[in-house]
A and B are shown apart, each in its own frame.
Chain A
């Protein structure tokens, strides 16, 4: 196999590992008229107020997924990052642009970090070292915020907490909204430590205690343990939540950067999440990692 074909094959496998499971969520979007294009439900009518749970929280319960047609292949705007994705998908690549600040849609790496990000980007097309592969392709947890745009999610609420259940790879996230303090800083977690509070119709979640092993997408966007993620989930209509996330890591970025997405409700009353066992059948490392050909 020549070098180009090998790289294409490796990238395809990496992509399919993710895409296979996300496909169910895409098909749900298609059922609701999305068809792979942005399909953002309307905001509620003027004066609309969201329903409340028995303990007074905004009731966001239900099944949701992002409707902006973004891909976790690469978050960054620009032809360079998307070229491989366009090639893999035969020109049908997702075109959504989640990064709204900086305005150029790019992750504002510090110079040293930009070099490492470029190294990892080059490695994703074929590497000798498993640690240079997307952590999710290796079967690890997505981390925050990435899991929010990996596929479908369900929100359940109980007094004092908001619970996120993510279909991909059995991720769950419990967000206390009872004012408790963050964990001891010695505890590092794949999914971080989330604390929420309500500001009107907005659930604000502050997530800290991240390890430095998760990425924001498949092509090497990384962070350090100093990562702080601030999300704002605002219910703006019966079938729509607007999401904004500010990503701050003074060790890696020159400034905090912001993504915005719109979530639509899955209104299929029969929908349930199914088991998504990732590690159990994962052959990505075995198939992708091999000695480079000279």
Chain B
């Protein structure tokens, strides 16, 4: 694992499909990544019509597709759960709705020191949470904050536009991460298709952001693999596998549906978190 990271840095290039964990659960993905890379290579030399039939899993019928034959993920989406407060199961408290865990195979597998740190974060959450300072929230947290986001889809690039502080994630398709380590708030996102699933590999994070308001956290070694699958006209299934060998004992996964915002005339508005301080709204006489 650690060796793998060092090799990547030595090469100064991180392939988008680089396996990043030796954990058993991850090996499944590793194999599918290999298939995806074979398929991606094929796309370079073969006609689109042919490669569409070579996707690793059979295309689902009835899924609306964009002009290049890929599932159309564009639109305005939002999570409808309580992961923003706490990824794990929790009862209600003042201002916090109760919620089921979105962690597959909970609990989150912290290393002992990290479990203590997470407890400390929880106790200090009202001031220690980066969200309280309006800092960019990182990935995957921004996905399930209580604000809508919009996916803009083109064949080579998907742009994720978030209502929360106008955050942007650019997902370049079938491209390589830049050499790092780079400390970016939102990481560096590289995408590819595995059948009808958009897979986004995200690295180059800082160690500041949290996963929720309950103090769940990571280091700069965080590696997130997101999977977006359109499961119906108005639903995406969202899955994020989280790997961070400095903090967790193994990789772990969150999963939740995302819902299309169906209101007529729906559009993203604004939540400029850092502009709400009263001192900034005194206009000169």
A interface list, Cβ under 8 A from B: 54, 61, 116, 119-120, 123, 129-132, 138-141, 156, 158, 161, 163, 165, 169-172, 174, 176, 180-181, 183, 187, 189-191, 212-213, 272-273, 275, 277, 279-280
Contact = CB atoms under 8 A, between A and B. Distances in A.
Contact of B280 (A138, A156, A180, A279): A138
Contacts of B92: none
A120 B161 CA distance: 33
B121 interface: no
B284 A163 contact: no
Contacts of B172: 272
Contacts of B268: 174
A170 B152 CA distance: 15
B265 interface: yes
Given A158-B154, A272-B172, 8 more contacts: A116-B284, A123-B284, A156-B159, A174-B150, A174-B161, A176-B267, A190-B272, A279-B134
Main secondary structure of the interface of B (DSSP, over half): loop
Interface of B: 67, 74, 134-136, 150, 152-154, 157, 159, 161, 165-168, 170, 172, 184-186, 265, 267-270, 272, 274-275, 279-284
Nearest to A270: B175
A173 to B, nearest CB: 9
B269 to A, nearest CB: 7
B202 to A, nearest CB: 12
B152 A129 contact: no
Contacts of B157: 156
Given A116-B284, A174-B150, A191-B166, A275 B74 contact: no
Contacts of B153: 158
A156 B152 contact: yes
Contacts of B284: 116, 119-120, 123, 129, 131-132
B161 A172 contact: yes
Contacts of B270: 141, 189-191
Contacts of A277: 136, 184-185
A190 B270 CA distance: 8
Which of A54, A129, A279 has the largest number of chain B CB atoms within 10 A? Answer: A279
A170 B168 contact: yes
Closest 3 CB pairs of A and B: A275-B184, A170-B168, A172-B161
B274 A165 contact: no
Indicate the member of A61, A174, A212 with the most B CB atoms within 10 Å.
A174
Contact of B74 (A158, A187, A213): A158
Contacts of B170: 165, 272-273
Nearest to B268: A174
A116 B284 CA distance: 8
Nearest to B136: A277
A26 to B, nearest CB: 21
Given A129-B282, A277-B136, A158 B152 contact: yes
6 contacts: A116-B284, A119-B284, A139-B274, A158-B74, A171-B166, A213-B280
Nearest to A127: B284
Given A176-B267, A187-B269, A279-B134, A141 B168 contact: no
Contact of A130 (B136, B166, B185, B280): B280
A7 B153 CA distance: 47
A163 B184 contact: no
Contacts of A161: 152
B152 A131 contact: no
Nearest to A188: B270
B265 A180 contact: yes
Nearest to A282: B274
Given A119-B284, A120-B284, A132-B284, A156 B166 contact: no
A275 B185 contact: yes
Contacts of B185: 275, 277, 280
B279 A130 contact: yes
A213 B268 CA distance: 20
A212 B165 CA distance: 18
Given A129-B284, A189-B269, A163 B152 contact: yes
A169 to B, nearest CB: 8
A273 B269 CA distance: 23
A180 B157 CA distance: 26
B275 A172 contact: no
B166 A141 contact: yes
B219 to A, nearest CB: 18
A139 B165 CA distance: 11
**Most interface-central of A158, A176, A183 (chain B CB within 10 A):** A158
A153 to B, nearest CB: 12
A129 B284 CA distance: 9
Nearest to A194: B267
B166 A170 contact: yes
Contact of B135 (A129, A158, A169, A279): A279
